[in-house]
Structure 1
């Protein structure tokens, strides 16, 4: 049964809002994988450092997530239990893995954007303005304690093995913080470059490098150890110090970094996941800015 929005002037019921959100989430993921010049990562013209992934696989993966973000938005709106949100995500993971023949393309996105979508649902239920700060605050207020202290962690996952071996935190802590890295690092870089260039692709690349410079990316550590993480962070910081995408020949600059990543089989998957969150929040702000 559909639940009608509290204010008649909105004309749209919650299920229609949730459908819009589902499309925004999948579009954000598509925009992220479509972006060229991402060191070590899949895009339409390269597999990056991944022998088991290509662009077509990511397309199938995103298609398999249709309705998932809609369902999580409705879960947030109806204030279902934390476990119900988790089970919804587990089902989406199974659907994704079936579509990709057991290749993990979007496990991070399912987790990150699942909670972000549920937070949008809670904002809709509360009739509060929907923007990045509100979504961040809603995630923290609602699920931080359960994420940090009650979520069952898989000790054999890459992230948890990096946590126990090196003390590096990962996706769970990032979501529990209300996407603090996205709010403090990614969004400011995105908005700054977009304001200067009006180019979404340049803004996204600069954002990715800002995340690489800042993040303790468990994907990098898994593939190359802590030494690789420090090298990646330093390369990203130097790229930004040279002006990043504001350089005249920034593509050639990035190509050298791409070559290094592929040569050493490095892939900043954690940074890519948070770029997806950044693009999603941008789209949600734009789409729902007249909500109140």
Structure 2
């Protein structure tokens, strides 16, 4: 990878943004490729979904090529919030065309769009690119607009759950600078990866940590608050027993998988944040020596 010096040329920034785009799509591909995600689409199962499968997610990810590059450049150039928003809407339209109007990556477009813009803004200000600086940049730059000026769709699942139960969702998570990702998912991932050097086990541990903590509006939409509490408790118990470090961890995960499919539950919010986790770790690894 080409190392970018300070006072980069436009060409250098474009190449850097292209690399970021590749990392974002790779993170999304690794997330959907991870087997044994309870209730979620994997290469060998549709989970709790009847309208989605693995090839659909592959087409969706391919349709997003160039989007994360654009958002990185938007952040670097310091464009208005509305421009970032418009870029995301255009990416949504491309995704929905590729998937025949099935929402596969709306959360990823929102989450990783702002994360990519944050990387661009860090570069523009000569700030080292890592998970913490990305989160802090989002807070400092867009938190106010995300929380108080972003037009919310009252008919979306997330907003209906917010109105009905008062639970927060993707907008609040992004506005916090991905606090749940930084405080919960990344530490669990790194702990397991250091001990096992196994990305699959580290990713599953991070997913269960997110499930134990997150007010996942996808779970609430499908099963109500009672389902959310059950899911959180199941994940907490799995982690308390050692998570993926248990000798029989696969059998334990299968039990959770079976329950989710039986009750048609899908922790889509947690899956979205696993994608953010993988993206942040990739960016931090690849670009740690940039500034």
- TM-score class, shorter-chain normalisation, is over 0.9
CA displacement 1:9-47 (0-9 Å, x = unmatched): x99710000000000000000000000010000010000
How far has the Cα of 1:149 moved from its partner? 0.3
Superposition misfits of 4+ residues, deviation over 6 angstroms = none
Shift of 1:72: 0.1
Deviations 1:133-167 (A, max 9, x none): 10000000000000000000000000000000000
2:190 — aligned with what? 191
Of 11-20 and 242-251, the range deviating more from structure 2 = 11-20
Secondary structure of 1:13's aligned partner: helix
2:153 is aligned with 1:154: yes
The residue that corresponds to 1:291 in the other structure is: 290
On the 8 A contact 2:5/2:290 being kept in 1, the answer is: no
Q: Could you state the TM-score of these two structures normalised by the residue count of structure 1?
A: 0.97
* Pairing 1:218–2:217 present: yes
Which residue number corresponds to residue 44 of structure 1? 43
**Superposition map of 1:94-105 within 5 A:** 94-105=93-104
Instruction: Please state how far the C-alpha of 1:249 moved relative to its aligned partner.
Output: 1.1
Report the equivalent of 1:65: 64
Distance 1:226 1:145 in 2: 29
Q: Displacement, 1:6?
A: 3.7
Q: Is the 8 A contact 2:222 2:265 kept in 1?
A: yes
User: For structure 2, which runs of at least 5 residues remain unmatched after alignment?
Assistant: none
What is residue 134 of structure 1 aligned with on the other side? Answer: 133
Which residue of structure 2 lines up, in the alignment, with residue 119 of structure 1? 118
Q: Is the 8 A contact 1:217 1:271 kept in 2?
A: yes
Query: Is the contact made by 2:37 and 2:257 (CA closer than 8 Å) also made in structure 1?
Result: yes
Equivalent pair of 1:5/1:12 in contact (CA under 8 Å): no
Q: How many residues align?
A: 288
| Whole-angstrom CA distance in 1 between matches of 2:136 and 2:201 | 28
> What is the CA-CA distance between 1:290 and the residue it aligns to?
1.1
Q: Distance in 1 between matches of 2:18 and 2:148?
A: 32
Q: CA RMSD in A?
A: 1.3
* Offset at residue 128 of structure 1 (A): 1.1
Partner-residue secondary structure (3-state), 1:221:
helix
TM-score (norm 2): 0.97
Partner of 1:240: 239
User: What are the ranges of 5 or more consecutive residues in structure 1 without an aligned counterpart?
Assistant: none
| Whole-angstrom CA distance in 2 between matches of 1:249 and 1:73 | 42
